[in-house]
Amino acid sequence: MYRGRFAPTPSGPLHLGSLVAAVGSYLDAHAHRGQWLVRIEDVDKPRAVPGAADIILGQLEAHGLTWDGDVIFQSERDKVYQSYIDSLTSAGFIYQCDCSRKAIRERGGIYEGYCRTRQPRPTPYALRYINSAPVNQFNDRALGVQHGDTNTCAEDFVVKRRDSLYAYQLAVVVDDIEQDITDIVRGSDLVVPSFWQLTLWQHITSAQPRMMHLPLVTSDDGRKLSKQNHAPAINSQNAPDNLLIALNYLGIDAHELSETRKIDEILAFAVQKWRKKWHITAA
């Protein structure tokens, strides 16, 4: 059964770029008559803005993007992440690393396993995964075959940070596996991290997710809309118009709906259009 998800970071309200990602993942799940889950990715606890998660969930509901099951919060899953690290450590795939970003840049910018044979390391140290079988290619449903930089894909990446927070690369894979996610639909700014994530996926389980990366929404100067770039929050009072704009970015011509104010009609129309273009027979 198809299971997809939308996983926003609660560093602020949704903006147009994140709404496009939410709508795309929602449509894909419903076009395949599957489930659509919502996960709050607050594993980077200092970045989480108090109250932002509730605002995001309210924005989704205002746009008719209702989810299946309970919302999970990464900040409440430390024990789960640690259990995976413990298993990887027992299997000999984890080591300590106290290299700073500056030191890595001075050695060429690619982490070449400097600390692998220099154990143990003084505190504070990060934990890195021994990347012995890197994924450097995957098929993306929207973008086609993606090829990663060989050296970057082969890096021993961090799974627990020097500040003792669990790394995004670990948390997102663990959560997707634990939630039985079959399809990952998200913005194309996350193509590069996909190589490391798929590497960890294949280490933990033989079941691999289908990947689909959506077009990014950019500002007038060509930069990706993001909270860091102070992208304005979407106004939920304009939900029908916001959805129509999002559909346009997703390549769905919805001009015939320009007069409707009914969110359910807009989404039902969009699901049918998405199904014709992106339906996976085996899903």
Q: Rounded distance, CA 61 to CA 130, Å? A: 41
Helix (H) or strand (E) holding 155: none
Residue 227 confidence class, pLDDT cut points 50, 70, 90: low
Q: For the CA atoms of the chain, what is the radius of gyration?
A: 20
Answer whether CATH 3.40.50.620 is correct for domain 1-76+217-283.
yes
Known binding-site residue numbers for L-glutamate: 5-9, 41, 168, 186
Summarize pLDDT for 104-134 with one digit per residue, the tens.
999 999 999 999 999 999 999 999 999 999 9
Q: How many CA atoms lie within 13 A of 151 on its CB side?
A: 6
Contact call for residues 17 and 245 (beta carbons, < 8 A): no
What is the reported pLDDT for 281? 79
- Predicted TM-score of the model (pTM): 0.94
Known binding-site residue numbers: 5-9, 41, 97, 99, 111, 115, 168, 186, 227
Q: Is the pLDDT assigned to residue 225 strictly greater than 70? A: no
Collapsed DSSP state (helix, strand, coil) of residue 154: coil
Average pLDDT of the segment spanning 272-278: 96
Known binding-site residue numbers for ATP: 227
Summarize pLDDT for 65-95 with one digit per residue, the tens.
999 999 999 999 999 999 999 999 999 999 9
Summarize pLDDT for 176-212 with one digit per residue, the tens.
999 999 999 999 999 999 999 999 999 999 989 999 9
Reported for 116-125, long-range contacts at CB under 8 A and 24+ positions apart, including other chains, are 116/156, 119/95, 120/96, 121/96, 121/97, 122/98, 123/98, 124/98, 124/162, 124/163, 124/164, 125/96, 125/97, 125/98, 125/162
Average pLDDT of the segment spanning 155-161: 98
Known binding-site residue numbers for Zn(2+): 97, 99, 111, 115
